[in-house]
Amino acid sequence: MNQKPSNAFIAASWATLLTGVTAYIIGLWNAEMLLNEKGYYFTILMYGLFSAISLQKSVRDQLDGIPVTNIYYGLSWFSTILAVVLLVVGLWNADLLRSEKGFYAMSFLLSLFAAIAVQKNTRDSLGKEEPAKHSVD
């Protein structure tokens, strides 16, 4: 039985997501790097958020007995891991201070974790209703 999350936890999850994404984007905006590099890091953030939400949903669907194809489940894991690896490789090879690299890594991971929490809260807030045949929660 899933409990509905408290309003405080929902607010904290959203605040954390907005903090992580905003910090990451402000860091990119102020960074002294080429526009194509900024685009790379921004794309990794968006890809990471999408893949983390997709992974959370597919894992949760399996736990709730909702069919998930093995290929989609595997791609969700692969995409999430790939997003993290792409960030690590990009930061490893970037001409940035270690503090800047750490900033991007931490705000990225904070954003991914918060996106998973927001997705979980969204789903848990719906209660134990029968899922729609083609739901995209």
Mean pLDDT of 34-60: 95
Domain count, the chain: 1
Note the pLDDT of residue 70: 93
Domain assignment present for residue 20? The answer is yes
With CA atoms as reference, report the closest residue to 110 among 21, 8, 10: 21
Instruction: Give the C-alpha separation, 77 to 1, whole Å.
Output: 25
pTM for the model? 0.83
Angular region, 65: left φ>0, alpha ψ -120 to 50, beta rest: left
Q: In the chain, what percentage of residues exceed pLDDT 70? A: 91
Domain assignment present for residue 132? The answer is no
Asked if pLDDT for residue 65 goes beyond 70, the answer is yes
Mean pLDDT of 7-11: 92
Residues written for the chain: 137
**121 CB-near residues (< 8 Å, 6+ apart):** 5, 9, 10, 13
Q: Which helix (H) or strand (E) holds 101?
A: helix 98-125
Domain assignment present for residue 66? The answer is yes
Angular region, 57: left φ>0, alpha ψ -120 to 50, beta rest: alpha
For residue 121, the enclosing domain spans 7-125
Q: Give the chain's radius of gyration (CA, Å).
A: 17
Note the pLDDT of residue 1: 55
Domain assignment present for residue 137? The answer is no
Backbone angles phi, psi at 112, to 5 degrees: -65, -45
Domain assignment present for residue 84? The answer is yes
Structure token pair of residue 32? 């002294």
